[in-house]
Protein backbone atom coordinates (compact mmCIF):
# COMPACT_ATOMS: atom_id res chain seq x y z
CA UNK A 1 0.00 0.00 0.00
CA UNK A 2 3.00 2.26 0.51
CA UNK A 3 3.24 3.49 -3.09
CA UNK A 4 -0.47 4.36 -3.15
CA UNK A 5 -0.23 6.24 0.16
CA UNK A 6 2.80 8.12 -1.16
CA UNK A 7 1.03 8.94 -4.41
CA UNK A 8 -1.87 10.51 -2.51
CA UNK A 9 0.43 12.32 -0.10
CA UNK A 10 2.68 13.79 -2.79
CA UNK A 11 -0.28 14.78 -4.93
CA UNK A 12 -1.70 16.74 -1.98
CA UNK A 13 1.71 18.25 -1.33
CA UNK A 14 2.13 19.27 -4.99
CA UNK A 15 -1.33 20.88 -5.04
CA UNK A 16 -0.55 22.77 -1.83
CA UNK A 17 2.74 24.01 -3.25
CA UNK A 18 1.02 25.08 -6.48
CA UNK A 19 -1.63 27.05 -4.58
CA UNK A 20 0.99 28.71 -2.36
CA UNK A 21 3.14 29.67 -5.35
CA UNK A 22 0.18 31.11 -7.29
CA UNK A 23 -1.15 33.12 -4.33
CA UNK A 24 2.24 34.41 -3.24
CA UNK A 25 3.14 35.23 -6.84
CA UNK A 26 -0.10 37.16 -7.40
CA UNK A 27 0.38 39.11 -4.16
CA UNK A 28 3.78 40.30 -5.36
CA UNK A 29 2.60 40.92 -8.93
CA UNK A 30 -0.57 42.82 -7.99
CA UNK A 31 1.37 44.72 -5.33
CA UNK A 32 3.57 46.02 -8.08
CA UNK A 33 0.97 46.47 -10.81
CA UNK A 34 -1.59 48.34 -8.68
CA UNK A 35 0.86 50.30 -6.58
CA UNK A 36 -0.08 53.86 -5.69
CA UNK A 37 0.91 56.33 -8.37
CA UNK A 38 0.25 60.10 -8.80
CA UNK A 39 -2.12 59.57 -11.76
CA UNK A 40 -3.97 56.77 -9.92
CA UNK A 41 -4.65 57.91 -6.34
CA UNK A 42 -8.26 56.73 -5.98
CA UNK A 43 -9.12 53.06 -6.51
CA UNK A 44 -11.78 51.99 -9.04
CA UNK A 45 -14.75 50.28 -7.45
CA UNK A 46 -15.44 46.95 -9.15
CA UNK A 47 -18.75 45.09 -8.87
CA UNK A 48 -18.56 41.36 -8.30
CA UNK A 49 -18.58 38.79 -11.09
CA UNK A 50 -21.07 35.96 -10.75
CA UNK A 51 -19.16 33.76 -13.22
CA UNK A 52 -15.97 34.15 -11.26
CA UNK A 53 -17.76 33.42 -7.97
CA UNK A 54 -19.28 30.22 -9.35
CA UNK A 55 -16.02 29.11 -10.94
CA UNK A 56 -13.97 29.45 -7.77
CA UNK A 57 -16.63 27.69 -5.73
CA UNK A 58 -17.34 24.78 -8.04
CA UNK A 59 -13.81 23.96 -9.20
CA UNK A 60 -12.33 23.60 -5.67
CA UNK A 61 -15.42 21.60 -4.67
CA UNK A 62 -14.80 19.11 -7.48
CA UNK A 63 -11.11 18.88 -6.58
CA UNK A 64 -11.89 18.36 -2.89
CA UNK A 65 -14.50 15.69 -3.63
CA UNK A 66 -12.05 13.93 -5.93
CA UNK A 67 -9.45 13.84 -3.16
CA UNK A 68 -12.09 12.63 -0.72
CA UNK A 69 -13.12 9.72 -2.95
CA UNK A 70 -9.48 8.81 -3.61
CA UNK A 71 -8.58 8.93 0.10
CA UNK A 72 -11.71 7.08 1.21
CA UNK A 73 -11.12 4.22 -1.24
CA UNK A 74 -7.54 3.89 -0.09
CA UNK A 75 -8.66 3.96 3.53
CA UNK A 76 -11.19 1.19 3.01
CA UNK A 77 -8.60 -0.90 1.23
CA UNK A 78 -6.20 -0.43 4.13
CA UNK A 79 -8.92 -1.21 6.67
CA UNK A 80 -10.12 -4.47 5.10
CA UNK A 81 -7.60 -7.31 5.11
CA UNK A 82 -7.97 -9.97 2.40
CA UNK A 83 -9.90 -13.01 3.64
CA UNK A 84 -7.02 -15.44 3.10
CA UNK A 85 -4.49 -13.35 5.02
CA UNK A 86 -2.07 -14.99 7.44
CA UNK A 87 -3.21 -14.29 11.01
CA UNK A 88 -0.80 -13.04 13.66
CA UNK A 89 -1.85 -12.10 17.19
CA UNK A 90 -0.18 -9.14 18.81
CA UNK A 91 -0.18 -8.29 22.51
CA UNK A 92 1.39 -4.95 23.38
CA UNK A 93 2.49 -4.22 26.92
CA UNK A 94 4.87 -1.90 28.74
CA UNK A 95 7.25 -2.08 26.94
CA UNK A 96 7.36 -4.85 24.41
CA UNK A 97 5.62 -6.40 21.46
CA UNK A 98 4.54 -10.04 21.67
CA UNK A 99 3.65 -11.91 18.50
CA UNK A 100 1.99 -15.27 18.19
CA UNK A 101 1.74 -17.12 14.89
CA UNK A 102 -1.03 -19.60 14.16
CA UNK A 103 1.46 -22.47 13.84
CA UNK A 104 2.65 -21.90 17.41
CA UNK A 105 5.75 -19.75 16.92
CA UNK A 106 6.01 -16.95 19.45
CA UNK A 107 8.38 -14.02 19.37
CA UNK A 108 9.08 -10.77 21.17
CA UNK A 109 10.01 -7.48 19.49
CA UNK A 110 10.48 -9.28 16.18
CA UNK A 111 7.91 -10.29 13.64
CA UNK A 112 8.92 -12.72 10.89
CA UNK A 113 6.66 -12.79 7.85
CA UNK A 114 6.85 -14.37 4.41
CA UNK A 115 7.38 -12.24 1.32
CA UNK A 116 4.36 -11.49 -0.83
CA UNK A 117 1.70 -12.87 1.50
CA UNK A 118 -0.91 -10.69 3.17
CA UNK A 119 -0.53 -10.64 6.96
CA UNK A 120 -3.35 -9.65 9.25
CA UNK A 121 -2.60 -8.50 12.78
CA UNK A 122 -5.19 -8.78 15.53
CA UNK A 123 -3.89 -6.55 18.29
CA UNK A 124 -4.72 -5.78 21.90
CA UNK A 125 -2.92 -4.03 24.74
CA UNK A 126 -2.45 -5.42 28.21
CA UNK A 127 -2.12 -2.01 29.84
CA UNK A 128 -2.35 1.32 28.04
CA UNK A 129 -2.68 2.61 24.49
CA UNK A 130 0.23 1.73 22.23
CA UNK A 131 0.50 2.14 18.50
CA UNK A 132 1.89 -0.33 15.98
CA UNK A 133 3.92 1.62 13.44
CA UNK A 134 6.02 0.30 10.56
CA UNK A 135 6.97 3.40 8.56
CA UNK A 136 8.30 1.44 5.57
CA UNK A 137 4.87 -0.18 5.12
CA UNK A 138 2.94 3.05 5.90
CA UNK A 139 1.09 1.03 8.54
CA UNK A 140 0.12 2.69 11.80
CA UNK A 141 -2.66 1.46 14.06
CA UNK A 142 -3.44 2.17 17.69
CA UNK A 143 -3.38 -0.86 19.99
CA UNK A 144 -6.01 -0.49 22.70
CA UNK A 145 -6.77 -2.18 26.00
CA UNK A 146 -10.02 -4.18 26.11
CA UNK A 147 -10.60 -4.04 22.37
CA UNK A 148 -9.14 -5.71 19.29
CA UNK A 149 -7.89 -3.60 16.44
CA UNK A 150 -6.55 -4.98 13.17
CA UNK A 151 -3.99 -3.94 10.62
CA UNK A 152 -2.63 -5.67 7.57
CA UNK A 153 0.21 -5.47 5.12
CA UNK A 154 1.79 -7.46 2.31
CA UNK A 155 5.55 -7.15 2.16
CA UNK A 156 6.97 -6.71 -1.34
CA UNK A 157 10.70 -6.78 -0.60
CA UNK A 158 12.74 -8.97 1.73
CA UNK A 159 14.59 -7.19 4.49
CA UNK A 160 14.38 -5.96 8.05
CA UNK A 161 12.13 -3.02 8.80
CA UNK A 162 11.78 -0.85 11.89
CA UNK A 163 8.79 -1.33 14.15
CA UNK A 164 7.97 1.50 16.53
CA UNK A 165 5.46 2.22 19.24
CA UNK A 166 3.93 5.50 18.08
CA UNK A 167 1.85 6.38 21.14
CA UNK A 168 3.46 7.67 24.31
CA UNK A 169 3.02 4.84 26.83
CA UNK A 170 5.33 5.64 29.74
CA UNK A 171 8.98 5.76 30.68
CA UNK A 172 10.40 3.31 28.15
CA UNK A 173 8.04 4.19 25.29
CA UNK A 174 11.02 5.13 23.12
CA UNK A 175 12.53 1.70 23.72
CA UNK A 176 9.38 -0.14 22.62
CA UNK A 177 10.79 -0.96 19.23
CA UNK A 178 11.39 -4.04 17.17
CA UNK A 179 11.94 -5.46 13.71
CA UNK A 180 9.68 -6.81 11.03
CA UNK A 181 11.74 -9.41 9.18
CA UNK A 182 10.49 -10.24 5.69
CA UNK A 183 11.82 -13.58 4.46
CA UNK A 184 11.56 -15.50 1.21
CA UNK A 185 8.70 -18.03 1.50
CA UNK A 186 11.05 -21.09 1.73
CA UNK A 187 13.17 -19.41 4.41
CA UNK A 188 10.04 -18.53 6.30
CA UNK A 189 8.88 -22.17 6.13
CA UNK A 190 12.18 -23.30 7.60
CA UNK A 191 12.04 -20.64 10.28
CA UNK A 192 8.46 -21.33 11.35
CA UNK A 193 8.92 -25.12 11.44
CA UNK A 194 11.38 -24.67 14.33
CA UNK A 195 8.52 -24.02 16.69
CA UNK A 196 7.27 -26.99 18.68
CA UNK A 197 4.90 -25.01 20.89
CA UNK A 198 1.21 -25.76 20.71
CA UNK A 199 -0.76 -23.58 18.36
CA UNK A 200 -3.05 -20.85 19.73
CA UNK A 201 -6.08 -22.92 18.66
CA UNK A 202 -4.80 -25.98 20.56
CA UNK A 203 -4.06 -23.88 23.64
CA UNK A 204 -7.55 -22.41 23.32
CA UNK A 205 -9.09 -25.88 23.17
CA UNK A 206 -7.39 -26.75 26.47
CA UNK A 207 -8.65 -23.53 28.06
CA UNK A 208 -12.12 -24.28 26.74
CA UNK A 209 -12.10 -27.51 28.74
CA UNK A 210 -10.17 -26.14 31.72
CA UNK A 211 -12.55 -23.22 32.32
CA UNK A 212 -15.61 -25.42 31.83
CA UNK A 213 -16.89 -23.65 28.71
CA UNK A 214 -17.36 -27.08 27.21
CA UNK A 215 -20.02 -28.00 29.80
CA UNK A 216 -22.56 -25.58 28.37
CA UNK A 217 -21.29 -24.94 24.82
CA UNK A 218 -21.67 -28.52 23.66
CA UNK A 219 -20.81 -29.37 20.08
CA UNK A 220 -24.20 -31.03 19.46
CA UNK A 221 -26.07 -27.96 20.76
CA UNK A 222 -27.59 -29.89 23.67
CA UNK A 223 -25.99 -27.62 26.31
CA UNK A 224 -27.35 -24.58 28.11
CA UNK A 225 -25.38 -22.29 25.80
CA UNK A 226 -25.27 -22.25 22.01
CA UNK A 227 -22.84 -24.52 20.16
CA UNK A 228 -19.93 -22.45 18.89
CA UNK A 229 -18.97 -24.27 15.70
CA UNK A 230 -19.23 -21.90 12.78
CA UNK A 231 -20.26 -18.94 14.94
CA UNK A 232 -17.29 -16.83 13.93
CA UNK A 233 -18.22 -14.51 11.10
CA UNK A 234 -21.89 -15.47 11.30
CA UNK A 235 -24.73 -13.08 12.07
CA UNK A 236 -26.15 -13.79 15.53
CA UNK A 237 -29.54 -12.63 16.80
CA UNK A 238 -29.99 -11.48 20.38
CA UNK A 239 -32.90 -11.77 22.78
CA UNK A 240 -33.93 -8.16 22.07
CA UNK A 241 -34.07 -8.85 18.34
CA UNK A 242 -30.91 -6.96 17.40
CA UNK A 243 -28.17 -8.70 15.45
CA UNK A 244 -24.44 -8.50 15.02
CA UNK A 245 -21.75 -10.26 13.04
CA UNK A 246 -19.70 -12.40 15.43
CA UNK A 247 -16.24 -10.87 15.12
CA UNK A 248 -13.25 -10.78 17.46
CA UNK A 249 -14.67 -8.05 19.67
CA UNK A 250 -18.04 -9.78 19.97
CA UNK A 251 -16.39 -13.06 21.07
CA UNK A 252 -14.30 -11.10 23.56
CA UNK A 253 -17.36 -9.37 24.99
CA UNK A 254 -19.22 -12.67 25.22
CA UNK A 255 -16.45 -14.10 27.40
CA UNK A 256 -15.84 -11.08 29.63
CA UNK A 257 -19.30 -9.53 29.76
CA UNK A 258 -21.73 -12.26 28.65
CA UNK A 259 -24.88 -10.46 29.82
CA UNK A 260 -24.29 -7.54 27.44
CA UNK A 261 -25.69 -9.48 24.48
CA UNK A 262 -27.60 -12.69 25.19
CA UNK A 263 -28.25 -14.87 22.16
CA UNK A 264 -31.92 -15.36 21.37
CA UNK A 265 -33.39 -18.47 22.94
CA UNK A 266 -30.86 -18.67 25.81
CA UNK A 267 -30.90 -17.55 29.44
CA UNK A 268 -28.41 -14.97 30.79
CA UNK A 269 -26.75 -17.56 33.04
CA UNK A 270 -23.16 -17.45 31.84
CA UNK A 271 -20.69 -16.11 34.44
CA UNK A 272 -18.17 -13.46 33.47
CA UNK A 273 -14.56 -14.52 33.03
CA UNK A 274 -13.27 -10.99 33.62
CA UNK A 275 -9.98 -11.14 35.51
CA UNK A 276 -9.55 -14.89 35.05
CA UNK A 277 -8.06 -14.85 31.58
CA UNK A 278 -5.08 -12.84 30.39
CA UNK A 279 -4.82 -11.33 26.92
CA UNK A 280 -2.86 -14.29 25.58
CA UNK A 281 -5.50 -16.72 26.79
CA UNK A 282 -8.34 -14.65 25.35
CA UNK A 283 -6.63 -14.68 21.96
CA UNK A 284 -6.12 -18.45 22.26
CA UNK A 285 -9.82 -18.98 22.98
CA UNK A 286 -10.59 -16.75 20.03
CA UNK A 287 -8.28 -18.83 17.82
CA UNK A 288 -10.03 -22.00 18.98
CA UNK A 289 -13.50 -20.63 18.27
CA UNK A 290 -12.33 -19.41 14.87
CA UNK A 291 -10.85 -22.84 14.12
CA UNK A 292 -14.25 -24.40 14.85
CA UNK A 293 -15.68 -22.16 12.17
CA UNK A 294 -13.05 -23.22 9.69
CA UNK A 295 -14.04 -26.86 10.14
CA UNK A 296 -17.61 -26.14 9.15
CA UNK A 297 -18.57 -27.02 5.57
CB 155 to ligand CUA: min, Å: 23
Which of 124, 153, 167, 204 forms a contact with ligand CUA (CB under 6 A)? Answer: 167
Q: Which is closer to ligand CUA, CB of 92 or CB of 231?
A: 92
Which of 168, 175, 243, 294 forms a contact with ligand CUA (CB under 6 A)? Answer: 168
Which of 88, 119, 124, 169 forms a contact with ligand CUA (CB under 6 A)? Answer: 169
- Which part of the chain contacts ligand CUA (CB under 6 A), choosing from 51-59, 169-177, 234-242, 265-273? 169-177
| Cβ atoms of 236 and 296 closer than 8 Å | no
The string of DSSP letters for 93-129 reads ETTEEEEEETTS-EEESEEEEETTSEEEEEEEESSS-
Nearest CA-CA partner of 277 in 204, 197, 181, 192: 204
Which of 176, 203, 246, 286 forms a contact with ligand CUA (CB under 6 A)? Answer: 176
Binding mask 67-86 for ligand CUA (x = CB under 6 A): --------------------
CB 279 to ligand CUA: min, Å: 14
How many residues interact with ligand CUA (rule CB under 6 A)?
8
Taking the C-alpha atoms of residue 196 and residue 122, their distance in angstroms, rounded to an integer, is 22
Taking the C-alpha atoms of residue 209 and residue 236, their distance in angstroms, rounded to an integer, is 24
Q: Which is closer to ligand CUA, CB of 101 or CB of 173?
A: 173
Q: Which residues contact residue 241 at a Cβ distance below 8 angstroms, ignoring those fewer than 6 apart?
A: 264
Which of 173, 217, 252, 290 forms a contact with ligand CUA (CB under 6 A)? Answer: 173
Nearest CA-CA partner of 238 in 230, 228, 229, 246: 246
> Helices 50-79 & 2-33, crossing angle to 10 degrees?
160
| 124 DSSP β-pair partners | 91
Q: Applying CB under 6 A, which residues contact ligand CUA?
A: 95, 130, 165, 167-169, 173, 176
Amino acid sequence: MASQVDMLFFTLLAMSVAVVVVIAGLIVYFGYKYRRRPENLVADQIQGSMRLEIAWSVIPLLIAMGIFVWGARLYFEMASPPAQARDVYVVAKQWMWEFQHQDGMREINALHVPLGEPVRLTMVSQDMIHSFFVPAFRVKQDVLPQRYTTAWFQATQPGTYHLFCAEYCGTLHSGMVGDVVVMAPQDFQTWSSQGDAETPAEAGEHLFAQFGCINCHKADNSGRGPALAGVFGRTVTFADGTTTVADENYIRESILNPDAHVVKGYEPIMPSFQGQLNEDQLLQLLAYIKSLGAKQP
